[in-house]
Amino acid sequence: MTMMKRGLAAVAALMLTTGLVRAEDVEVLHWWTSGGEAAALNVLKENLAAQGIGWVDMPVAGGGGEAAMTALAARVTAGNPPTAVQMLGFDITDWAGQGALGNLDAVAGPGGWDAVVPAALQGFSKYDGHWIAAPVNVHSTNWVWINKAALDAAGGKAPESWDELIVVLDAMKANGITPLAHGGQPWQDATIFDGIVLSEGTDFYKAAFIDLNPEALGGPQMADAFNKLMKLRTYVDDNFSGRDWNLASAMVINGEGGMQMMGDWAKGEFLKAGKVPGVDFVCIRFPGTQGAVTFNSDQFAMFNVASDGAKAAQGAMAVAIMDPAFQSAFNVVKGSVPARTDVPNDAFDDCGKKGMADLAEANAAGTLFGSMAHGHAAPAAVKNAVYDVVTGAMNGNYPDGAAAAAALAEAVAAAQ
């Protein structure tokens, strides 16, 4: 056992036994309901079970977590929050601002979290200088997952630019498959849009989605981004509306679809289906976004709970999540990369190794940005305003990109 692990174990043991407090079962609210997600969740459940901590499952299906956040609000309003909640970005700091979250400093301090969790994540795991959530991973949204056989049949070259992307999509169409496997749900449309906006340039992404600059939101580059989204709409199948993201992944897995533009949780589905990167599928950054990353990090926020047993369970769960060996085991299955900078990449497949290297490179280069689609660029009100316009554009509500960009600038201004 390393010194640090010994320290963490001692803290957990102390919390569990001080005053004869026994950790209660943890009730965990999450939206990890697909095959790959459930497999990753099992890694966490089993880890806690090995420490004698029981699991009460509260799954609320729906990628991006919108439905889960609605369910959470109802529980908090009723004065009965779950022990731990999967949460993204600004949702965490918003709840902290309302004084609803507990304090994890007692485990974060001895665990040395300050030194190993990237600053970009700490911005959401800490509030007012105190740890309020334990980050379990780093996902990123600017990925494309391509069926290898379909790519080979379409010329074999993974696209590196928008023009090359269109060539491949056209070839896949000519080959009789659905070029772009997609589910028409606002968060999925917005996930693709993260990649498109980033491909317009890192300065542009920052100006539009982080700084919410009205000129960037309503200007010609945003118009171009919307025109690209509308172009991509021509490559989806007739049944795309409302489809769950993992069913779109399944289309690429079985060759009915050519590619999916989705965060790296999609890789969890490919792995669950026994597929191998480089052999059965290819992972690339959204063409034109190489060197930059739009990230989101799943964190477990711990709500204020009354009993010492529930508090002990929260501490033990947070310690388990932050264990380097757990971060490796969990993220290998989930498709994401560790939320700590000191976890070796040995256990990861080629896409995971690329994900870890890309994250480090983007962080060093200043090209690591929070994902708008997944709550790390702006608070929920702005995110939802972006969803509305992006989904409207995907569904033909605007005559052209310029009209959509104008609507976006207006919607974001109204939401602030």
Tell me whether residue 139 or residue 311 sits nearer to ligand BGC (CB atom): 139
Whose Cβ is closer to ligand BGC: residue 221's or residue 299's?
A: 299
| Contact code string over 286-325 relative to ligand BGC, x by CB under 6 A | ----------x-x---------------------------
Quick note: the x/- pattern for ligand BGC over 170-209, rule CB under 6 A, is ----------------------------------------
From 37, 194, 269, 323, residue interacting with ligand BGC (rule: CB under 6 A): 37
CB of 375 to ligand BGC, least distance (A): 7
Q: From the CB of 4, what's the least distance to ligand BGC, in Å?
A: 26
By beta-carbon proximity to ligand BGC, the closer residue of 27 and 37 is: 37
Q: Nearer to ligand BGC by C-beta: 140 or 221?
A: 140
Q: Which of residues 318-377 bind ligand BGC (CB under 6 A)?
A: 374
Report the nearest approach of ligand BGC to the CB of residue 153 (Å).
29
Relative orientation angle of helices 308-322 and 3-17, to the nearest 10 degrees: 170
| CA dist., res. 411 & res. 416, Å (int) | 9
- The 231-270 site mask, x for binding ligand BGC (CB under 6 A), equals ----------------------------------x-----
Give me the 63-102 binding string for ligand BGC, x by CB under 6 A, dash otherwise.
Answer: xxx----------------------x--------------
**Quick one: which segment of 62-70, 220-228, 269-277, 389-397 binds ligand BGC (CB under 6 A)?**
62-70
Number of residues that bind ligand BGC (CB under 6 A): 11
Q: Name the segment binding ligand BGC (CB under 6 A); options: 48-56, 59-67, 90-98, 318-326.
A: 59-67
Considering beta carbons, is residue 200 or 298 the nearer one to ligand BGC? 298
Among 69, 133, 139, 392, binds ligand BGC (CB under 6 A): 139
Q: Which is nearer to ligand BGC, 265 or 369 (CB)?
A: 265
In three-state form (DSSP H/G/I as H, E/B as E, the rest C), the secondary structure along the chain is CCHHHHHHHHHHHHHHHHHHCCCCCEEEEECCCCHHHHHHHHHHHHHHHHCCCCEEEEECCCHHHHHHHHHHHHHHHCCCCCCEEEEEHHHHHHHHHCCCECCCHHHHHHHCHHHHCCHHHHHHHEECCEECEEECCEEECCEEEEEHHHHHHCCCCCCCCHHHHHHHHHHHHHCCCEEECCCECHHHHHHHHHHHHHHCCHHHHHHHHHCCCHHHHHCHHHHHHHHHHHHHHCCCCCCCECCCHHHHHHHHHCCCEEEEECCCCHHHHHHHCCCCECCCEEEEECCCCCCCEEEECEEEEEECCCCHHHHHHHHHHHHHHHCHHHHHHHHHHHCCECCCCCCCCCCCCHHHHHHHHHHHHHHHHCCEEECCCCCCCCCHHHHHHHHHHHHHHHCCCCCCHHHHHHHHHHHHHHHC
Query: Which of 11, 12, 27, 31 is close enough to bind ligand BGC by CB under 6 A?
Result: 31
Which residues contact ligand BGC (rule: CB under 6 A)? 31, 37, 63-65, 88, 139, 265, 296, 298, 374
